[in-house]
Chains A and B, each alone.
Chain A
Amino acid sequence: MANKRIDEPTGTETVGHEWDGIEELNTPLPRWWLYTFYATILFAAVYVVLYPAWPMVESATRGTLGWSSRGDLANEMTAADMARQSVVERIAATDIEKLPADPELMQAAIAGGAAAFKVNCVQCHGAGAAGSPGYPNLNDDDWIWGGTLTDIEYTMTHGIRWEGAEATRANYMPAFQGMFEPAQVDALAGHVLSLSGKGRSSAAGAQLFADNCAACHGTGGEGASAMGAPALGDAIWLFGDTEAAVKAQILAPRHGVMPAWQGRLDPVTIKMLAAYVHSRGGGQQPAPAPAADPASDVAAAAKANTGG
């Protein structure tokens, strides 16, 4: 059947078949190519046994080595955790107020806190920690519950008005709806705004403030971070600095809630988060003695350094 012959012009043997006078030269694959191909087949056979290969209905064959990409990821995560272990242990062993004394450790804590902040905090406080109405700005120097590292760590650990957290920070401003006449509300709001130079004060407003508000907010509206009473004499307003916003807050105060992170995040992560928030530019130093109004500190420092 086969009619092999040597093709004269090329000197190559034909495969022996002929279709309408067309013949094909027998030019086999190069040996090296063929053996490479066989080697790949062998490789595939070994691979199928060792590694996950055949798709099944539910999963796939597991392979005798037990390798999986999820396992790889888990190993890498463990390795990363191990690499961080010594730093984490050092942070855990360091009192949070002593952290800034070790710049290297503080930097590590801030970096870790920045990462945790992106996961847990940006939803309310914003990516730049600048907050929004009702959600405090963490960059500024106004702290409702205190701005030292210890204060911030405590707030994060126990939350604010967080049900189920025993030691949570909580206070409630009474609603004055129905207690004041509209004219009284106007006068009070005017006085509150005048504390920061915005509104018009009046004797009636001042009297109302002294009677109803000064106990918590201070006679000059300086606030009290120990009980979480916001300062009213500064430029920072959590719920807005318009007369309408102030009146709304007098009549029916809103109270923000922050979760207690204890139990959700480990203490070291909370410590690192506190370090990060403290580093955003407004962190306060623990006062050895009851400090003067921090707001005037800035102005005083500014004056002192410009010779003004």
Chain B
Amino acid sequence: MDEIERPAPPVAPADSGARDWGKALGHAAPEPAPEPEAGFMGSALYEKGKTVHNKRIDGPFRRFKWLVMLVTLGIYYVTPWIRWDRGPYAPDQAVLIDLANRRFYMFDIEIWPHEFYFVAGMLIMAGIGLFLVTSAVGRAWCGYACPQTVWTDLFQHVDRFFDGDRNARIRLDKAPWTASKIARRSAKWAVYLAIAFWTGGAWIMYFADAPTLTRDFWTGNAAPVAYATVAILTGTTFWLGGFMREQVCIYMCPWPRIQTAMLDEKSLIVTYKDWRGEQRGSLKKAAKNPDAYGDCIDCNMCVAVCPTGVDIREGQQIGCITCGLCIDACDKVMAEVGRPRGLIDYATLDQCKAEAAGAPPTPAWKALLRPRTLIYFTVWAGLGAGLLFALGTRTHTDLTVSPDRNPPFMLLKDGSVRNAYTLRLRNMEARPRAMEIALEGLPQGAVMWTESVSMENAARVQVVTVPANATEVLRVYVLLPDGVTANAFAFRLTSLDEQREQDVTETTFAMPGNP
């Protein structure tokens, strides 16, 4: 039993009998006693921050958290350094948000500004994905994958490395500022700062060629915005991860509030099964009077391991990020005292109710399959499929045409009429491509030429080479001989490679008498 420490037991809830599950969900049942200290000064609105010294614990959920931390931090720090060969005309960084050239590279996908709906679509998918995850497994995002959670977890491990586990940290916190404490704190905060700096430094690598930027950064040649970004992100990581921690979740983040509206009786949450645990009592008390006490031995392990410092036995609350560490702790204790696991467990409130009424425990995964989850999944998957379809069928050429408006047309000496157009030929391939522009729907005799192709070489079809990954702006003259009329016609763009991509853009030919 040396594992189990017993800090001062918290005040037991007054109503230790059957709990009001509605209250646990936030649908507050009317409480008869108003809080007396909530005076007109609003003093109850402010609470001084308490440092959470969470105890080390091992178990399936802790290991899962390790795994998620490894994967997410790995993705974050390593991704910008992955190289991806795109040929000589495009950057070789796998993931690059090239704001200066307005290109977004992600492995084989290249997004141009006009295709920003892909990014918007992915953001909408991320939003609906959060809804889906919340309806299926509750606040799993908060508990495992949220950057605030991951970095807080990382910093708490740094605490543990420098200052020892929970009790040692509490002691050190209270200790006077001796030389050794100052040294320890300085070392710890230096590591905080190093992590924070590394975090801020990794961020900017997504926006420029990482090796070049790293060299420029250390030689003082990087853009001022790079240094500012690193400074800001270093500061926020240091402060939010090192000091604010769970207060971000409890006071600053809107997501827990939104989730309050999304959780219902069928949502998977971390719950304390009070019908099984209450009345709490130590092993000694329970041994004397076994019938009066439940399974909870009131060891407070669930509170000690909690990274946000909440007591899960008080029911579902905004501070609970559902990381499952209290489940690990309680299962361990239950195993040691020889009682069945799962006093604190992932379960829905409906399942708890049924269990309390004597039904056999339902497997947690059954909570996944319900209309709400399926509808979210359908919407989410539909969006994803739509985006993939759009991505697969998009062409890498595009033609836009804007006719000159002043003057709209030009009468030439021989009575022919000339119109001028500004053509934008877009080549989204990372290689220069020859493209053919053809006049469609203009009568015989109509010809065109460009600024680079002189009037002597005017023809119905012109071939231009569009540079790699670029939009070529071309001024084109179209000439209609005397005596012929035309109005609507089109430019047809064809890429002269095996893809033979085409784009047809309609426009009008202005001449005297045309509307």
Name A residues whose Cβ lies closer than 8 Å to a Cβ of B.
10, 126-130, 137, 139-142, 196, 231, 234-236, 279, 281-282, 294-299, 301-303, 305-306, 308
Min C-beta distance of A134 to chain B, whole Å = 16
Interface of A is mostly: loop
For B413, give its contact among A126, A128, A141 (CB under 8 Å): A141
Residues on A with C-beta less than 8 A from B444 are: 306, 308
Contacting residue for B414 out of A129, A235, A305, CB 8 A:
A235
B residues less than 8 Å from A298 (CB atoms): 412-414, 416, 455, 479
Give the residue name and chain of the A residue nearest to B448 (CB). Answer: A305
Contact with A along B434-467 (1 / 0, CB 8 A): 0000000000111100010001111110000000
Q: Find the B residue at minimum CB distance from A284.
A: B455
- Measured in the bound complex, the distance between the Cα atoms of B130 and A278 in whole Å is 61
Q: Which of B473-487 contact A (CB under 8 A)?
A: 477, 479, 481-482
Within the complex, the shortest CB–CB distance from B418 to chain A, in Å, comes to: 7
In angstroms, how far is the closest chain A Cβ from the Cβ of B39?
A: 8
Q: What residues of B have a CB within 8 angstroms of the CB of A305 in the complex? A: 447, 457-460
Instruction: Give the chain B neighbours of A279 by CB distance below 8 A.
Output: 451
Residues of B within 8 A of A141 (CB): 412-413
B499 at interface by CB-CB < 8 Å: no
**Min C-beta distance of A229 to chain B, whole Å:** 14
Do B413 and A295 touch (CB < 8 A)?
yes
For B405, what are the chain A residues with a Cβ–Cβ distance below 8 Å?
128
Q: Is B407 within 8 A of A234, CB to CB?
A: no
User: A128 CA to B419 CA in the complex, in Å?
Assistant: 13
Whether the pair B404, A306 counts as a contact (CB closer than 8 A) is: no
Determine whether the beta carbon of B404 is less than 8 Å from that of A128.
Answer: yes
Inter-chain contacts of A142 with B (CB < 8 A): 412-413
Whether A296 and B414, one on each chain, are in contact in the complex, defined by CB atoms closer than 8 angstroms, is yes
Interface residue tally for chain B (C-beta within 8 Å): 29
Closest to B407 in A: A130
Q: Which residues of A contact B412 (CB under 8 A)?
A: 140-142, 235-236, 282, 295, 298
Q: Closest A-chain residue to B414, C-beta based?
A: A295
Q: Given A305-B457, A305-B458: A281 and B413 within 8 A (CB)?
A: no
Q: CB within 8 A of B410: which of A10, A140, A301, A306?
A: A140
Name the residue of chain A whose CB is nearest to the CB of B41. Answer: A10
Give the distance in Å from the alpha carbon of A119 to the alpha carbon of B207 in the complex: 41
Query: What 6 A-B pairs come out closest when comparing CB atoms?
Result: A128-B406, A234-B413, A130-B407, A305-B459, A235-B415, A295-B413
B67 within 8 A of A: no
CA distance A126 to B412 in the complex (A): 18
Interface residues of B (CB under 8 A from A): 41, 404-407, 410-416, 418, 420, 444-447, 451, 455-460, 477, 479, 481-482
Is the CB–CB distance between A301 and B413 below 8 Å? no
A299 touching B416 by the CB < 8 A rule?
yes
Query: With A and B bound together, what is the CA distance between A248 and B403 in angstroms?
Result: 36
Q: Give the residue name and chain of the B residue nearest to A110 (CB).
A: B451
A71 to chain B, nearest CB (A): 26
Query: From residue A125, how far is it (CB to closest CB) to chain B in Å?
Result: 11
Knowing A128-B407, A139-B407, A140-B412 are in contact, say whether A235-B456 is a contact too (CB < 8 A). no
The answer on a CB contact under 8 Å between A297 and B445 is no
| A306 and B482 within 8 A (CB) | no
What separation, in Å, do the CA atoms of A305 and B413 have in the docked complex?
19
- In the complex, chain A residues whose CB is within 8 Å of the CB of B411: 140, 235-236
A113 to B251, CA, bound (A): 61
Of chain B, the residue at the smallest CB distance from A233 is B413
Contact A308 B445 (CB under 8 A): yes
Q: Which of A140, A297, A302, A306 has the most CB of B within 10 A?
A: A302
Q: Which residues on B sit within 8 Å (CB–CB) of A302?
A: 416, 445, 447, 458, 479, 481
CB distance from A150 to the nearest CB of B (A): 18
Give A250 to B233 CA distance when docked, in angstroms: 81
**Which residues of A have CB within 8 Å of B445?**
302-303, 306, 308
Q: Which residues of B contact A139 (CB under 8 A)?
A: 407, 410, 418
Give chain A nearest CB distance to B333 CB in angstroms: 45
Could you name 19 residue pairs across A and B whose Cβ atoms are closer than 8 Å?
A: A126-B407, A127-B406, A128-B407, A130-B406, A139-B418, A140-B410, A140-B413, A142-B412, A196-B415, A231-B413, A234-B413, A281-B410, A282-B410, A295-B413, A296-B414, A298-B412, A298-B413, A305-B458, A305-B459
Closest to A297 in B: B456
A275 to chain B, nearest CB (A): 12
Output the nearest chain A residue to B411 by Cβ-Cβ distance.
A235
Task: Report the separation of the CA atoms of residues A308 and B405 in the bound assembly, to the nearest whole angstrom.
Answer: 30
Q: Which residues of B contact A299 (CB under 8 A)?
A: 414, 416, 481
Shortest C-beta distance, A57 to chain B (Å), equals 44
Q: Output the nearest chain A residue to B420 by Cβ-Cβ distance.
A: A281
**A208 to B109 Cα, complex, angstroms:** 75
Chain A residues with CB under 8 Å of B407's CB are 126, 128-130, 137, 139
Most-contacted residue by chain A among B411, B414, B420, B479 (CB, 10 A): B414
A231 to B447, CA, bound (A): 25
In the complex, which residue of chain B has the Cβ closest to the Cβ of A296?
B414
Bound CA–CA A209/B409 (angstroms)? 32
What's the minimum C-beta distance from A92 to chain B, rounded to whole angstroms?
24
Asked if B414 and A281 make an inter-chain contact with CB atoms under 8 angstroms apart, the answer reads no
Closest chain B residue to A279, Cβ basis: B451
Closest CB in chain B relative to A227 CB, distance in Å: 18
| Interchain nearest-CB distance for B445 vs A (Å) | 6
Contacts of A297 in B (CB 8 A): 456
A130, A231, A306: the one contacting B459 at CB < 8 Å is A306
